[in-house]
Structure 1
Amino acid sequence: MKQIKNHISFIKSFLVCTLFLCSVNILFAQEVTTSIDTTQIKIGEQIKYRIEVKADNGTQVVFPEGQTFLPLEMVEAYAIDTTKLSSENNYKLSRTYALTQFDSGSYTIPQQKVLIKDRNFLTDSLRVEVANVVVDTVNQDIFPIKPTIEIKKPSVFPMWILWLLLVIIGVAGLVFLFLMLRKKKLEREQNIPPYEKAIDTLKKLDESQTLEKGQIKEYYSVLTLAIKRYIDEKVDERALESTTEELIVRLNELKENKGFDLDNKVITDLQEILKRADLVKFAGGGMDKLTARSDRKLVEEDINSIKDTIPEPTEEELLKDEAYREAKKKKEKRTKIIAIVVGVLTIITIANFALFENKGLIYLKDLIIYNSADELLEQDWVASEYGNPPVYIITPEVLIRDVASVTPSTESFTYGKIDGELYVNILTENTQKTNSGEEPKENVGEQEANELATRGAKNILVKTDEFTTADGSTGVKVYGSFVIENEVTKQKEKKSYVHLYFASEQGSKIEILVSVEDGDEGFEEITNRIINSIEFNREN
């Protein structure tokens, strides 16, 4: 019995040892090692950080990606190198990273996670020293920092200004052509003798068939115009603006006082025709076609009678009339010259304004026909990386470093003003303290409202959501609208905004704020293009 128990105890011990040896074999079948080419560098130099993994064939291995080496900055991640080992079916996978730092000091490269068969392995942390660059102050002359030089953009004549000038010239040409044709037509009419003009008007009235169409009012209007205009041009220059009674009174006065030998029957017939015309035109009375045709005949007879009665102009009158026409021609010529000079000066002024005062013209264009969102969308955008950890982003213009807000661990880059039509701000914070990652949405939303309020915003609407970048990084999206006073116009303007928050386990934080005019589809597209271009783990 004792022998059986000893035998069973031996078997148990053997099984335990076998299982232990198998587990040790499994652990050592997957080996992770790290190495660096140097532990001391100068500012800006690079360290080659290498991770090697020994694993079985077919084992899935995932190396670190992105800025996981903080406080050191990962400059480049090289391709994974695979080497087959001579022993059995094992492989060695290695990947090298280029790391750097731009501040002197002693830094620790944190442990890196390597995923092997759904299991995380941590590498050892390594200590490195970053030294300042020694400046030779003995043999090398030290010069003061040169002042900044403003480089003016090359003067490029915008094509839209050329098109605008062409349109203005074209419109001015059409207006000038219309006026010239109208003037020639009027001159031709003025050159026609009054008698021929009156008879021609009556003939056109017959050809128009106005009477046959039943348009009695229009018929009598043309009929009275023909004879009154003839009297106005040859007898009484106030005939066109006179009433029937006034015209008849003046004709009688001319007959009695100035020897105007006009038959009483002509004056009586004219009075009756004008009264019937007034009745038709102003009282809405009717008139039969037979009477209308009779009046048409009487008007022509009256015109002939008046023509025969008018004495031939004296030589003095002819000279006065010729002098008047010459003076009128000179006046019209002066007017034409002045119009041409004013037009040319206007075009030259616009061209000079466009060439030498481009800012003022841009403001005028914004005010009248310019859509700044469309111009921003059509221009070439700028792709760049900002801050530490670096943020890759594409924006309409380059973001400028905000020197006033820079600290050893914080950097800020901005374009525009928050009360302007487009405002972009990137804030990066690089610390070495451990962070739990993403901030609670409630705290971020409350923080956003407080920050906007300190900038003068009112009626702040805050919404929160998750946001994922193109490279898979996740963060918090705070968006909504607010009202703020424009510094220039002093008017209340409504803005829409998107504020993105990102945080890493290494302690780095990134904030990206985009604010635009609310309700503008063009600026909404600009916002989407900016935030959708954001990347953190961008491959070089």
Structure 2
Amino acid sequence: MGYTFHGFAQDTPAIQSEVDTTFIKIGDQLKFKITVEVDSTDMVIFPEGQTFSPLETVEAFATDTTRKKDRITLLKTYALTQFDSGSYKLPAQRIEINGKGYFTDSLRINVATVPVDTTVQKMYDIKPLIQVEKINSGWWKVLIIVLGILAVVAGLLYWFVFRPKPLTEEEKVAQLPPYDRALLELKKLDNSKYLIQDEYKQYYSELTDIVRSYLDEDANISALESTTDELIDKLEMLKDAGELELDKDTINQFKNILKTADLVKFAKSKPPTNIALQDRKIVEQIVVKTHEAIPEPTLEELMAQEAFKEELAKKRQKKKWMIAGGAAIGAVVISAIVVINYFGAAQVWDTVTGNPTKALLDNEWVASSYGYPPISMETPEVLVRQKVEIPAEAKANIKELQSFMFNDEKSLLTIAATSTTFTQPAEPEFEKTIEQLLKSFEAKGAKNIITKQEEFVTISGVKGMKTYGSGKFKIPDSEELVKANYAILSFGGKGFQQQVLLTWQDEDTYAEEIINRVLSTIEVKTEV
């Protein structure tokens, strides 16, 4: 156990710090405790954030307070860890008491590797990076909505249009040949209660409609719209022409039945029941004799009938497909309206056309740390390590330079992180590095670069410098210049420097969202 102790007079603060161990394995935690004894009226502020670098703060526990008369003892405990082996310096920590700073001593912490039995588990080389095609994670929402609407429409079309439907009794009768249908309807008339209920008008109306419909369909006689005399004249003309072989008695019987029916329907006549039943039998004989008298159709007539049926079937099928096409177009229109109202026209269009920055924004983002001292941030793509050659004249001052970058040339979107450690514990010269970056913009064809500066503070409170502005940037493989923005974040201390470079095209709302999200997640370690 290591510790430091600062003793003072009774009326001055007493500060003690200690760790529970100075030796841990990779990923294990140690407890760093700071004890402060002060007057009960003193204001004490303990370290906050990542001030223990290169060790990482896992958790800062609540302060434990013990009171003794007019003095109080404050105990602050931190859980620290490290994921790389080596010997690390736990830096002195500043405790502020009534605005005055007091420091603990630094400590040496040893982190050991975890032994691996290579006789059981073989060791393999690190696999190289491979390019993986990214999927636009936002597209599936649109796709699900559209597919859902189309599925509903397809189901309705199948159920109401294409599904083979069981035929009703009326449809089955309608599909029968005219002769069979006429005989079936006459049998149904026998089972009716018209005569029992004294409904002779309804009885004779159906009786004559049956025979007229049969003659209209099977004998090609326009019987439905003809009067009694007109219909009889047509039958006699067909008989005389030899096109319908009916005897004179059959025609006369049919004429008498039609006249009786006219008297019943228009003069309210009421024949005896036996006459009505006899008329029903005569009508059936007329249907049978007419069917027998109709000449057999020729081959040409049969082929014409078959062609007509096929044409009729094609028209019905065409009608079904027209209904289906109209429904599909309607579904697409409705889907488009729903999607546009939900996501907005611009987002839908950019999703359909594959806007590159929107695709990046919708990606599954990656949170990672880059370089040493580390720069942590969330990005839509992993930043790839860059091979950077340190100039010969700078090798005397730069110990190590690590650079990572993502660059989309089409949208001018760049996210880069660079960590530099120096050979001497000197303060970084931000202005020189920023000037070199601006010159690199100009070397790539940028013009009219405007530069501004302001303070930048991370979420944990680490302060840095933000250099930002706009200019006319050149699109790669083109002479075209477009307005673009840039931001350079600079952090550092004695012996190191950290910088984040961001560029994006002006008025690209998706790129602006990406940049704002990156900026809100940047964290840096402030000590080597």
TM-score by length of 2: 0.50
Q: Structure 1-normalised TM-score?
A: 0.49
The one of the two structures with greater contact order (alpha-carbon pairs below 8 A, sep at least 6) is: 2
